[in-house]
Amino acid sequence: MGTTTTGDGASLDFERIAVRIRRSSNFRVAWQLIEWSAPCKASPRTARQVLETIALVPELQTFLASSGPTVTQPPTVQPLHVHAVFKAAVGTFERTVARAASERVGAYPRIHTDVAPVEIREVEELFRSLGPYVPFELLPGEVEGCPECRGHYAHLFSDWFYCVAWDWCFCVIWEERNLVGVLCMTDTD
């Protein structure tokens, strides 16, 4: 996707990391930066509102549609599962992105050691270039007796995700700038 620039001139050059993630033969990544017009409090509720808005507005889904595979018909959009939750992912987010960029995560990683602190700092510095941020991760619900909560990745396998079972979905919020980034990654086995 390259450098994403917003109306206020803020930009995030995520592509330098995304290229390394895609270089792995079995990894896919999709990313979008959105100027959020509503109050942009760094909270799980805002993260959920962002994904629910993306689910309702087809124009906001293009970052997923362009990540492949080709879809012959636009999907029929369903909302996020009611029990799906967002949890703060400070530290987890940066480590996961750094591990994906160095082929150390997923079902078949080539390298089985953890990433070096310098690789994690690279991710932190990139996202911090727009100011203080808080990442949240979309996780499945855990309601006993709910068949969707029990299903494998039911929280991510949704038609508005263009029929891709994304292993990770992060919502990054820059509260001071009213910016939100959505990042989805998966290994494609």
188 pLDDT above the threshold of 70:
no
* pLDDT on residue 105: 67
| pLDDT score for 3 | 39
How far is it, in rounded angstroms, from Cα 142 to Cα 82? 11
**Structural domains of the chain ordered from first start:** 13-187 (3.40.1000)
Antiparallel, parallel or unpaired: β 134-139 and 179-187: unpaired
119-165: pLDDT as tens digits: 999 999 999 999 999 999 998 887 888 877 776 555 554 555 555 56
Q: Report the alpha-carbon distance of residue 84 to residue 139 in Å, rounded.
A: 6
Location of structure tokens 């017009």? 37
Spatial separation of the C-alpha atoms in residues 153 and 176, rounded to whole Å: 32
User: What is the total residue count of the chain?
Assistant: 189
* Of 146, 138, 142, nearest in space to 165 by CA: 138
pLDDT interval class at 2 (50, 70, 90): very low
**Three-state SS at 171:** strand
Higher pLDDT, 107 or 52: 52
The region of weakest confidence among 64-73, 112-121, 144-153 is 64-73
Quick one: pLDDT band at residue 92, thresholds 50, 70, 90? very high
d(CA 136, CA 59): 23
